[in-house]
């Protein structure tokens, strides 16, 4: 093959420390992608797997808040650093090294360098699953990741809203072009169920994620309602799967995790 026609994704390499690498992505921000990523990581841990969570949402890192882990990780040597460990999983985020409310104002080359460092200069322990929380959209971080790493697949998080679903199509298209399997769609904030009477209100529309999965011919992994307990658990540093294991709210994520495990056997 000539240099001109060389596939840029021929450089993809399997991470030596992770058996499976799952990217959690979304077409747009504000759909609860990071909350889904955190709870899926904890669900896999609850199933007995060794798990890591890598926060690659460099412009808006959420892991420090969701896990109540704000201190920088311990330096090992000039060659790298140790990940933090909380609730039985390994954690790494650029947010560990930033002061509160500090904005990351980086152009492409710095972003790409940061992605490489978080993947290759962290002393990750061997694990069954590495969950990667990507930033929304289809920018430099996503392209840099898929050029470097052989992913087991991607999960697309959306709401039922038409505006979010339009961006889902773009995200699926990007991953297909770079030969990353789409493991399925998760519909977040599917409905609000009144805690008093049990009535379901479909605030953002109904069955949008399922319809998009049928249109795009990818699996529908499940839905998660708009729920106060889920949101407050993430905001207070202990995601719902950890703070209320076995609760109805946790079961949504456990069921999605079960489907992912079956797909990656």
Q: Is residue 211 a part of any domain in this protein?
A: yes
Does 92 reside within a domain?
A: yes
Q: What is the rounded average pLDDT of the residues 172-190?
A: 91
The least confident of 34-43, 58-67, 76-85 is 76-85
Model-wide pTM > 0.85: yes
Whether pLDDT at 1 is above 50: no
Q: Is residue 3 part of a domain?
A: no
Does 12 fall in a domain? no
Q: Which residues is 158 bridged to in the sheet?
A: 187
- Cα(58)–Cα(105) distance, rounded to whole angstroms? 10
Mean pLDDT, residues 120-132: 94
Residue 141 resides in a domain:
yes
- DSSP annotation string for 212-251: HHHHHT--EEEEE---HHHHHHHHTTS-HHHHSTTSHHHH
Give a yes or no: residue 4 inside a domain.
no
Q: Is the per-residue pLDDT at 20 higher than 90? A: yes
Cβ proximity of 155 and 192 under 8 Å: no
**186 CB-near residues (< 8 Å, 6+ apart):** 36, 155, 156, 157, 158, 209, 221, 222, 223, 224, 256
Q: Sign of the CA dihedral 249, 251, 256, 260? A: positive
Does residue 139 have a pLDDT over 80?
no
Q: Are 132 and 21 in contact (CB under 8 A)?
A: yes
10 located within any domain: no
Average pLDDT over residues 96-124: 77
Number of domains in the chain: 1
**Do the domain assignments include residue 193?**
yes
Model confidence over 214-259: pLDDT tens digits? 999 999 999 999 999 999 999 999 999 999 999 999 999 999 999 9
CB 62 within 8 A of CB 34: yes
CATH number at residue 132: 3.40.50.300
Average pLDDT, the chain: 87
Give Cα separations from 233 to 3, 56, 244 (angstroms): 51, 21, 9
Range of the domain at 99: 18-263
């Amino acid at each position: 093959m000539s240099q001109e026609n060389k596939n840029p994704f021929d450089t993809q390499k399997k991470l030596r420390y992770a058996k499976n690498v799952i990217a959690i992505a979304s077409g747009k921000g504000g759909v609860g992608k990071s909350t889904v990523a955190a709870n899926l990581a904890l669900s896999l841990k609850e199933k007995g797997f060794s798990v890591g969570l890598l926060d690659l949402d460099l412009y808006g890192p959420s892991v420090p808040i969701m896990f109540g882990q704000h201190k920088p990780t311990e330096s090992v040597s000039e060659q790298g650093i140790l990940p933090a460990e909380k609730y039985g999983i390994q954690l790494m985020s650029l947010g560990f090294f930033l002061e509160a409310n500090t904005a990351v104002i980086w152009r492409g080359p710095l972003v790409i360098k940061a992605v490489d460092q978080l993947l290759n200069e962290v002393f990750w322990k061997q694990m069954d699953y590495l969950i990667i929380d990507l930033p929304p959209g289809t920018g430099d971080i996503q392209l840099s990741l898929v050029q470097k790493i052989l992913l087991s697949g991607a999960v697309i998080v959306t709401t039922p809203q038409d505006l979010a679903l339009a961006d889902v199509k773009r995200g699926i298209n990007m991953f297909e072009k770079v030969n990353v399997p789409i493991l399925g769609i998760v519909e977040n904030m599917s409905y609000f169920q009144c805690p008093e009477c049990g009535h379901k209100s479909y605030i953002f529309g109904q069955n949008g994620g399922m319809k998009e999965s049928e249109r795009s011919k990818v699996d529908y992994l499940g839905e998660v309602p708009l729920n106060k307990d889920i949101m407050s658990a993430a905001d207070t540093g202990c995601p719902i799967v950890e703070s209320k294991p076995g609760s109805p709210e946790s079961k949504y994520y456990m069921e999605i995790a079960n489907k992912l495990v079956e797909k990656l056997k």
